[in-house]
Amino acid sequence: MPQQVRLWKVENGDKLGEMIGTSLDLEIRIENWLIEDIRVLDPELLVIGRQVETDFGGVIDLLCINEGGDLVIVELKRDKTPREITAQVLDYASWVTDLSGDRVSKIADQFLGNRGPLAEAFKQRFGKDLPERINEDHRMLIVGSQIDPSSERIMSYLSDSYGVNINAATFRYFKSNDGQELLARVFLLEPTQVDDKARSKGPTKRLPNLTYEELEDTARRNGVEGLYRHCVSRLQALLTKHTTRSSIGFSANLDGSRKTVFSLIPSESNAEKGLRFQIYTSILAGAFNLSEGELRDLLPRDAEAWEPWAGASGFSGYFRDVSEIDKLIIGFSSSKRKAQLPNPSLQTDR
């Protein structure tokens, strides 16, 4: 149960004057405060949607993204009953969980306008690139001037028993006799404890990235081990490698930040089609000072256009033999590179 909040103003150095809590028109003002600066709720959020319509007929008050690329549903309690608010936010979560990265980007770009696209707004907000995979997890926050005991019990039960990442935040408004206004925020449940329970008990726990050995084993099982090993060997001489939950990625330092420019996906490869690749065209072309047309000429003939996120360009396809891989690497090596590329001898990834 949230703590009772009382505030006193220090007057004349040694006297205290209590500030009186009042409701005013708080429910109406809270949403505007959150839009103006979401950090009053959580310093690690970026708002990417307001009044977002779901496919089920509902409307999410605020849709946010955090530094890890996970989505956060923020719902204003207003005058809703305990049954309405908890059922509503769970219904919204059932829609959010299936949103593709492309759908999330389109929602965000529409809301952000000239502050977008999402990739740029994310980098501006968090000082890092948007993760390759977003919306791998989500959480729910109910916000109001007060939370009733019934809603408290429901949320505590969902968190404690099933690891559902749901919480509530209340904002208390205070005003002094001289007109000074203060706002206090209190969480129903300790946020770190909610996150810990979601990771340990929740049904959709975030999985760790695959290891290099696991990815190579997948390539072996799918009949592309030779192509995979050859491609990794050639690319790691030019780019920095890392792993994700499904791929091995290669990145370059461009414009002061590390950007993924190339990915190999052994799980989507097979002996008949070849080794699956994805290229972030505009980033990779910039890293090697190539035009997108020149880059396209270096790829296998049947490579197809691919959109990593809304507004971004890329290509995806399959390498069928080492000559196609070597053609691409030779093209990279002979170009005038403007990216800060790694010294292969200094790479620490294994």
Question: pLDDT tens digits for 248-274?
Answer: 999 887 665 677 889 999 999 999 999
Contact status, residue 113 vs residue 121, Cβ threshold 8 Å: no
Q: Does the residue 106 lie in any domain?
A: yes
Q: Does the residue 207 lie in any domain?
A: no
Task: Provide the pLDDT for residue 346.
Answer: 37
Given CA atoms 265, 267, 269, 275 in this order, what sign does their dihedral have? Answer: positive
Task: Provide the pLDDT for residue 257.
Answer: 64
Contact status, residue 315 vs residue 279, Cβ threshold 8 Å: yes
Q: Does the residue 206 lie in any domain?
A: no
Residues contacting 87, CB < 8 A, separation 6+:
none
Across 73-82, 112-121, 229-238, 258-267, the highest mean pLDDT is recorded for 229-238
Q: Does the residue 298 lie in any domain?
A: yes
Sole residue written with tokens 């065209």 = 281
Dist. CA 227–CA 245, nearest whole Å: 20
- Whether the pLDDT of residue 349 is over 50: the answer is no
Average pLDDT, the chain: 83
Dist. CA 216–CA 219, nearest whole Å: 5
Residues 180 and 293 in one domain: no
For residues 25-52, average pLDDT: 85
* 350 — pLDDT class (breaks 50, 70, 90): very low
Name the token pair of 37.
Answer: 């600066």
Residues 192 and 238 in one domain: no
Residues 161 and 236 in one domain: no
Task: Using the 3D structure, point to which of 201, 235, 252 is the last residue of a domain.
Answer: 201
Residues 242 and 170 in one domain: no
For residues 123-139, average pLDDT: 85
Residues 184 and 313 in one domain: no
For residues 8-29, average pLDDT: 68
Domain with 255 in it: what CATH number? 3.90.1150
Domain with 133 in it: what CATH number? 3.40.1350.10
Dist. CA 350–CA 329, nearest whole Å: 21
Task: Provide the pLDDT for residue 343.
Answer: 46
Query: Could you give the percent of the chain with pLDDT greater than 90?
Result: 36
| 225 vs 179, more confident | 225
For residues 154-177, average pLDDT: 84
Task: Provide the pLDDT for residue 22.
Answer: 61
- Whether the pLDDT of residue 319 is over 70: the answer is yes
Residues 32 and 67 in one domain: yes
Question: Quick one: 212 exposed, middle or buried, by C-beta within 10 A (0-12, 13-18, 19+)?
Answer: middle
* 213 — pLDDT class (breaks 50, 70, 90): very high
Q: Does the residue 194 lie in any domain?
A: yes
Residues 98 and 216 in one domain: no
Contact status, residue 130 vs residue 309, Cβ threshold 8 Å: yes
Contacts of 7-11 spanning 24+ positions with Cβ under 8 A: 7/174, 7/182, 7/184, 9/176, 9/180
Query: Measured at the alpha carbon of residue 259, what is the angle toward residues 325 and 126, in degrees to the nearest 5?
Result: 160
State how many domains the chain has. Answer: 2
- Whether the pLDDT of residue 21 is over 50: the answer is yes
Task: Using the 3D structure, point to which of 152, 178, 201 is the last residue of a domain.
Answer: 201
Whether pTM > 0.85 for this model: the answer is no
Residues 251 and 276 in one domain: yes
Q: How far, in Å, are 159, 234, 295, 339 from residue 239 at the CA level?
A: 43, 9, 16, 10
Residues 27 and 159 in one domain: yes
Task: Using the 3D structure, point to which of 179, 201, 223 is the last residue of a domain.
Answer: 201
Residues 182 and 228 in one domain: no
* 340 — pLDDT class (breaks 50, 70, 90): very low
Domain span holding position 18? 7-201
Q: What is the DSSP letter of 209?
A: P
Residues 193 and 278 in one domain: no
Q: Does the residue 2 lie in any domain?
A: no
| 329 vs 284, more confident | 329
Residues 130 and 33 in one domain: yes
